[in-house]
Amino acid sequence: MKITILTLFPSMFEPFRTESIIKRAIQNQIVEVDVVDIRDFSLDKHRHVDDTPYGGGAGMVIRVDVLDRAIKSVRNENSKVLLMTPQGRRYDQKLAEEFSKLDDIVIVCGHYEGFDERVLNYVDEEISIGDYVLTGGELAAMVVADSVIRLQKGATKDESHEDDSFSTGLLEYPQFTRPPLYDGFSVPEVLINGNHAKIREYRLYESLKKTYIRRPDLIEKYDLTPEMNKMLEKIKKEI
């Protein structure tokens, strides 16, 4: 898979590309991450990319011609071109899974007050990572790229991703490691002495409990098995 990021701040992506799982995925040629400076597509000798808004108002607007040239220089007929904007479709794990199957993704990051609206004629989809406003699309682009790269085959040791929060539709069960007792806080007995069936049951129960307490909206959407329904009854009595 190839991910190309169009940005006015290419250096923001250096740590993203050169640490941990993403770095290894690039080294192992699981993904290619190209970062392209939108400013290279200005025709202006001062490399301007923005201008004042028609109709007046504060701030600057990124020019459509600059963005069009930048997008055309990196896209091919198979590319999915995403525009990062707080007005976009809300990003979630389901969309990450969908995007992870693509061969070529182009992510356009805005900054300043916004883009000339006509850029929508040159992109496939507007994406937002949540209901809050960032200074630019760069962090949001990293969120999308990161969540898509970790789903590529070979990117992480755990290939299944079946237990990921949100993939199952439930939040993840709690994890523990040594020491078994710290500052008076102990690891649940079942994880130390339990058998596989008991551990599985404990984890499903805790996963359901955490989801029920923190994200009841996810339980609503979930097609609970009879075992889960029984557990949920117990949880409701317990809390």
Q: Packing angle between helix 196-214 and helix 226-238, nearest 10 degrees?
A: 60
For the question of residue 150 being annotated catalytic, the response is yes
For the question of residue 220 being annotated catalytic, the response is no
For the question of residue 188 being annotated catalytic, the response is no
- Residue 87 lies near ligand 6GU (rule: CB under 6 A): no
- Residue 7 lies near ligand 6GU (rule: CB under 6 A): no
Of the pair 84, 170, the CB lying nearest ligand 6GU is at 84
Write down the least CB distance from residue 106 to ligand 6GU, Å: 14
Contacts of 9 by beta carbon, 8 Å cutoff, 6+ apart: 109, 111, 136, 138
Write down the least CB distance from residue 83 to ligand 6GU, Å: 8
Write down the least CB distance from residue 115 to ligand 6GU, Å: 11
For the question of residue 14 being annotated catalytic, the response is no
Site string for ligand 6GU, 174-213 (x = CB under 6 A): ----------------------------------------
Report the length, in residues, of the chain. 239
Of the pair 33, 83, the CB lying nearest ligand 6GU is at 83
Site string for ligand 6GU, 115-144 (x = CB under 6 A): ------------xxxx-xxx-xx--x----
Q: Active-site residue among 37, 40, 113, 172? A: 113
Write down the least CB distance from residue 7 to ligand 6GU, Å: 12
Nearest to 57 by CA among 114, 19, 137, 140: 114
Binding site for ligand 6GU (CB under 6 A): 84-86, 127-130, 132-134, 136-137, 140
